[in-house]
């Protein structure tokens, strides 16, 4: 294979149903969504030559490759940082195709994260917080009762909210909007179940005074896969190619996923600012060139922090932006139009990446129509990508 720079594109997306009890193994979910992504693209699964997942995914790549009949795997890797890996998988798949070392890169994430184990419960299994997972300081929090992502996320967000005079009620608008999107998305767990600000305020405290139940992402079973190939090849396949115009990771000094307590200014998300800087440089684009954004929403404040980190809003102004309808379908920047991880499902960010692809293709159930969708930002905080029309 000539190793010349090769433009990359997303040719296929696939998913299982999103549920609370899949009734089958994570490996099966992985195989099903991988096959679905290949079918969507019109690529034979046997021709996959690169495989990327998250370090904490439980399905083994060789076993999955065996299910798919992969003939000759050229590259495998896993990305640390929990859900922060989501957009990083797209970045690394792009880089492999750019470098001319892979033709068909499969990205997958499959989990029984409700029926088999629950990220939202206090952890008794600490191997997730040790080496290779990008979560090195979490072990230090356990004796103090900070044992869940919600508690770490709340600690991260509380100073931001205090600085800008926000209370939990100000977060409600993020959640209400995402559930509005989910309500019209038949694939969403919360299909036809919108909420009001009052519902949000009546939901129980998860972490007082920052997060209520409805500020939190779901716990879900399911799998999502994405197939990345060259732009030229994608043009000959079944779907309209979705170009990966730019993608990157950014992990600035002393930044850590979720337990992000040690960098200089806790009222901002330096990783999102770092991703934004690289992405805008790489693509020559700017926030106003995006017609939609899919922002990792483990917890509602992180949507606000990313809106500010990427430069869609000035520091402290994202809550007012959302309240005024900024992230609605006819707003300045429709965000998480699938319902996000709180409304559609929590497949560790990958389901929102797939929604970014659908917005570019023009096939979302909540398609942005006010403007022609040319560019969509997908972000998982420590990584991001700009997807574009061919």
Partner 1 sequence: MTDVAPPPDAPKPIRLPPIVTMESKEFWEAADREEFIGQKCSDCGTFRFPPQPMCAHCHSLKREDVLLSGFGTVHSWCMPRHPPPFGFREPPIVAVIQLQEGTRFVSNVVGVKIEDMRQDMEVEVCFEDTMNKHKVPVFRPRGK
Catalytic residues: 296, 346
Token pair belonging to 86: 């989501």
207 vs 167: CA distance, rounded Å: 13
CA 288/CA 304 separation, integer angstroms: 17
Contact call for residue 154 and partner 1 (CB under 8 A): yes
Q: Considering beta carbons, is residue 143 or 186 the nearer one to partner 1? A: 143
Determine if 261 is a binding residue for partner 1 (CB under 8 A). Answer: yes
- The residue written with tokens 């403007």 in the block is 371
Selected from 100, 136, 316, 331, the binder of partner 1 by CB under 8 A is 136
Distance from C-alpha of 53 to C-alpha of 88, rounded to nearest angstrom: 10
Nearer to partner 1, 36 or 304 (CB): 304
Kindly tell me which residue out of 99, 101, 147, 365 binds partner 1, with binding defined by CB under 8 A. Answer: 147
Q: Which is nearer to partner 1, 262 or 371 (CB)?
A: 262
125 binds partner 1 (CB under 8 A): no
Region of 117-125, 306-314, 323-331, 376-384 interacting with partner 1 (CB under 8 A) = 117-125
Q: Give min distance, CB of 157 to partner 1, in A.
A: 8
Q: Is 9 within 8 Å of 104 (Cβ atoms)? A: no
Alpha-carbon distance of 371 to 289, in angstroms, equals 11
The verdict on 122 binding partner 1 (CB under 8 A) reads yes
Q: Which two tokens stand for residue 45?
A: 């699964």
Burial of 289 (0-12, 13-18, 19+ CB in 10 A): middle
CA atoms within 13 A on the CB side of 12: 28
Residue 164 interacting with partner 1 (CB under 8 A): no
Residue among 76, 140, 196, 325 that touches partner 1 (CB under 8 A):
140
Shortest Cβ distance from residue 143 to partner 1 (Å)? 5
Query: Please, which residue, 211 or 242, has the CB nearer to partner 1?
Result: 211
Q: Where in 171-230 is the site for partner 1 (CB under 8 A)?
A: 204-210, 213
Structure-block tokens of residue 20: 């609370």
Shortest Cβ 256–partner 1 spacing (Å): 10
Number of neighbouring beta carbons within 10 Å of residue 166: 20
* Residue range at the interface with partner 1 (CB under 8 A); choices 70-78, 106-114, 142-150, 344-352: 142-150
Contact between residue 296 and residue 302 where contact means Cβ atoms under 8 Å apart: yes
127 binds partner 1 (CB under 8 A): no
Which region, judged by CB under 8 A, interacts with partner 1, from 156-164, 237-245, 292-300, 320-328?
Answer: 156-164
Instruction: Give the shortest CB-84-to-partner 1 separation in angstroms.
Output: 19
Minimum Å gap between C-beta 246 and partner 1 is 29
Task: Using CB under 8 A, pick the residue from 2, 124, 186, 284 that binds partner 1.
Answer: 124
Between the CA of residue 53 and those of 50, 85, 248, what are the distances in Å? 10, 8, 16
Q: Pick from 116, 121, 192, 196: which binds partner 1 (CB under 8 A)?
A: 121
Q: What does the alpha-carbon distance between residue 260 and residue 223 come to, in Å, rounded to a whole number?
A: 27
Q: Which stretch binds partner 1 (CB under 8 A): 48-56, 97-105, 144-152, 328-336?
A: 144-152
What single string gives the DSSP state of each residue in 110-168? EEETTTT--TTSPPS-GGGGSTTSS-TTGGGGGGGT--SHHHHHHHHHHHHHHHTT--H
**Residue in 71, 193, 238, 262 binding partner 1, rule: CB under 8 A:** 262
Distances (CA, A) of 28 to 15, 67, 222: 12, 9, 10
User: Candidates 88-96, 131-139, 181-189, 357-365 — which segment interacts with partner 1 by CB under 8 A?
Assistant: 131-139
Strand arrangement, sheet containing 75-79: 75-79, 50-54, 105-112, 221-230, 8-15, 242-249, 383-389, 375-379, 292-295
By CB under 8 A, residue 42 contacts partner 1 = no
287 belongs to the binding site for partner 1 (CB under 8 A):
no
Contacts (Cβ under 8 Å, ≥6 apart) of 367 = 337, 358, 359, 373
The only residue of 1, 21, 62, 139 in contact with partner 1, by rule CB under 8 A: 139
Q: Are 381 and 359 in contact (CB under 8 A)?
A: no
Give contact residues for partner 1 (rule: CB under 8 A): 120-122, 124, 126, 136-137, 139-148, 150-151, 154-156, 158-159, 162, 204-210, 213, 253, 259, 261-262, 266
């Amino acid at each position: 294979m000539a190793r010349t720079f090769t433009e990359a594109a997303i040719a296929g997306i696939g998913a299982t149903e999103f549920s609370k009890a899949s009734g089958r193994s994570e490996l099966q979910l992985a195989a099903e969504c991988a096959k679905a992504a290949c079918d969507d693209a019109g690529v034979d699964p046997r021709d996959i030559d690169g495989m990327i997942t998250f370090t904490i995914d439980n399905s083994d790549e060789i076993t999955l490759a065996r299910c798919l009949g992969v003939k000759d795997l050229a590259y495998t890797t896993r990305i640390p940082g929990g859900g922060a890996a989501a957009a990083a998988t797209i970045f690394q798949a792009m880089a492999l195709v750019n470098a001319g070392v892979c033709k068909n890169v499969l990205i997958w994430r499959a989990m029984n994260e409700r029926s088999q184990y629950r990220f939202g419960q206090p952890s008794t299994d600490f191997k997730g917080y040790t080496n290779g997972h990008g979560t090195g300081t979490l072990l230090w929090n356990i004796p103090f009762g900070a044992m869940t992502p919600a508690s770490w996320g709340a600690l991260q967000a509380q100073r931001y909210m205090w600085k800008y005079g926000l209370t939990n009620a100000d977060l409600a608008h993020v959640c209400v909007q995402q559930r509005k999107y989910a309500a019209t998305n038949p694939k969403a767990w919360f299909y036809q179940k919108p909420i009001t600000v009052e519902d949000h305020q009546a939901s129980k405290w998860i972490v007082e005074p920052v997060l209520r139940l409805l500020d939190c992402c779901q716990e879900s079973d399911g799998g999502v896969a994405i197939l990345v190939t060259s732009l030229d090849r994608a043009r000959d396949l079944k779907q309209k190619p979705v170009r990966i115009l730019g993608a990157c990771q950014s992990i600035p000094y002393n930044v850590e996923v979720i337990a992000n307590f040690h960098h200089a200014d806790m009222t901002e998300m330096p990783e999102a600012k770092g991703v934004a800087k690289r992405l805008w440089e790489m693509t020559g684009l700017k926030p106003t060139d995006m017609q939609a954004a899919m922002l990792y929403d483990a917890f509602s404040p992180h949507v606000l922090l990313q809106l500010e980190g990427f430069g869609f809003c000035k520091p402290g102004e994202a809550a007012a932006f959302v309240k005024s309808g900024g992230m609605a379908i006819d707003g300045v920047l429709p965000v998480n139009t699938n319902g996000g991880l709180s409304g559609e499902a929590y497949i560790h960010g990958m389901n929102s990446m797939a929604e970014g692809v659908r917005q570019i293709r023009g096939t979302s159930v909540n398609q942005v129509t006010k403007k022609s969708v040319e560019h969509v930002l997908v972000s998982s905080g420590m990584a991001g990508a700009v997807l574009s029309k061919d």
